[in-house]
Amino acid sequence: MANEMLSHEPATGALLWRNPVSDPDHEVGLARAAWAPWAALPLTVRVETLRRFANVVRQRSEAFADLIARETGKPLWEARSEVASVVAKVDISVTAYAERTSQRRIDASMGSRIALRHKPHGVLAVLGPYNFPAHLPNGHIVPALLAGNAVVFKPSEKTPASGAFLIECYRAAGVPEGCIRVVIGGPAEGQALAAHPGIDGLLFTGSARTGINLNRAFATKPEKILALEMGGNNPIVVWDTPDLYTAAVLVVQSAFTSAGQRCTAARRLIVDDAMAQPLVATINTIIDRLIVGSPHDDPAPFMGPVIDNEAADQLTESFLALMMRGGRPLRHLERPVPDKPFLIPAMIDVTDMPERPDIELFGPILQVIRVQDFDAAIAEANDTRYGLSASLVSQTPALYDRFWSDARAGIVNWNKPTNGAASNAPFGGTGWSGNHRPSAYYAADYCAYPVVSSEADSARASIGIGLRDE
């Protein structure tokens, strides 16, 4: 039915969840009516309410993780880690709010004082992705509610059940129902919510194409806050390291964790030409050992399927397109179950490709680029419109100093994967990866705006110059 949203398990194809499509007008209207009383509550009340939310999620963690695993296809161990991040977000956000948006006094002259305080925007829309259907939208929702906003959340049409479960946890904790609304639907409902005159801002995580369209739409609405996190074409550079196995493990973790469905996943391996062949051989050996399976399999899989058959088909077509443009397959993209979206990771050497497409292939495909010197490696790392994450694997500190200084990315790592960002640090990038509104710890910055007040207990004023004598 067109007025009903269905969710299926990627690993099995089984129907998981169904729910009527929401009316964005109705949901925004309820939020507009509810946000002012919520904002008027003492901060301590909102903090305690959100701490109750963390306890509710903790109590329901196994059911929540099971649902996320089934709906996304990710392994149960990874879904449990996501739920733990949802719980941890509350205390992190309380600390961030106190540090970045707290009330404070500023010294002033002539017996007056300057007060710095923050106000909520009002009603904030949150558009969530499917790869982390609880953790990533929750990273917007918690700081938004903490600041006193009401939230209208639209989960991805590919993971609506996980989004609905998240909202149920908020309501069970005592967040007023009008202050946390959910819009179930597809692209049409998302577009209607983003364009709704009743919202005061939009917090988005998703593709660059959608983010750029949102940026254009909000260009004539400077009164509304817009925070964009749009992924990346991320490089991992391997240079001057004797431990090929560890380097290969870091590459595999960067490129193939979550079936490559992370915005921080490594899409490009840039490597010294002299060590490319043994490194690729070692990566291939590790891929041979990777378990690709269903969320609840025993032994536990390293990665599950991609989100659906459409995504698997697009990735297969993208790999073939890279081959047609001159890429040399180092490991073909395999689909072991024809009617299910399981993929065995692939690698392709694109060094000699005349024109490499600067796109985010959101899946387990790693492009390999061989270079002759470290300057060329940095140039290749920066040869993208994106700028989210970059990592260097090297035993030479001086090379990392150069890499950190010259790499154009919001996350620059050393001997660590490109992914796995910490929630207690800012998260964001440059170029097509965002609009300079980093999330995670810095989400407090876009969930409230500063108000500066010059104050005195009594009015005193005089004009000391420019008046005629009486």
Instruction: Cite the DSSP H helix spans in 73-229.
Output: 76-100, 135-147, 160-172, 187-194, 208-218
Question: Looking at 327-388, which runs of residues are DSSP E strands?
Answer: 328-331, 346-349, 365-371
Q: Name the residue with tokens 């002012």.
A: 36
Tally Cβ neighbours within 10 Å of residue 430: 16
* Identified catalytic residue from 263, 360, 380, 447: 263
* CA separation for the pair 367, 273 (Å, rounded): 14
Q: Name the residue with tokens 């507009």.
A: 32
Token pair in block for residue 435: 């609009």
Max CA distance (Å), the chain: 96
- Reply yes or no on whether 447 is catalytic: no
Q: Name the residue with tokens 């007056």.
A: 112
Tally Cβ neighbours within 10 Å of residue 451: 10
* Identified catalytic residue from 78, 229, 360, 380: 229
The closest of 83, 207, 184 to 135, measured between CA atoms, is: 83
Instruction: Provide the total of helices (H) and of strands (E) in the chain, helices listed first.
Output: 14, 19
Burial of residue 66, with CB atoms counted within 10 A of its CB: 0-12 exposed, 13-18 middle, 19 or more buried:
middle
Burial of residue 46, with CB atoms counted within 10 A of its CB: 0-12 exposed, 13-18 middle, 19 or more buried:
buried
Cis ω on the peptide bond leading into residue 397 (within 30° of 0)? no
Which whole-number Å values give the CA distances from 386 to 43, 120, 218, 314, 411, in the listed order? 37, 30, 21, 21, 12
* CA separation for the pair 173, 159 (Å, rounded): 22
Tally Cβ neighbours within 10 Å of residue 192: 17
* CA separation for the pair 197, 221 (Å, rounded): 10
- Reply yes or no on whether 263 is catalytic: yes
Q: Kindly report the backbone phi and psi dihedral angles of residue 223, in degrees, each rounded to the nearest multiple of 5, phi listed first.
A: -75, -10
Catalytic machinery residues: 229, 263
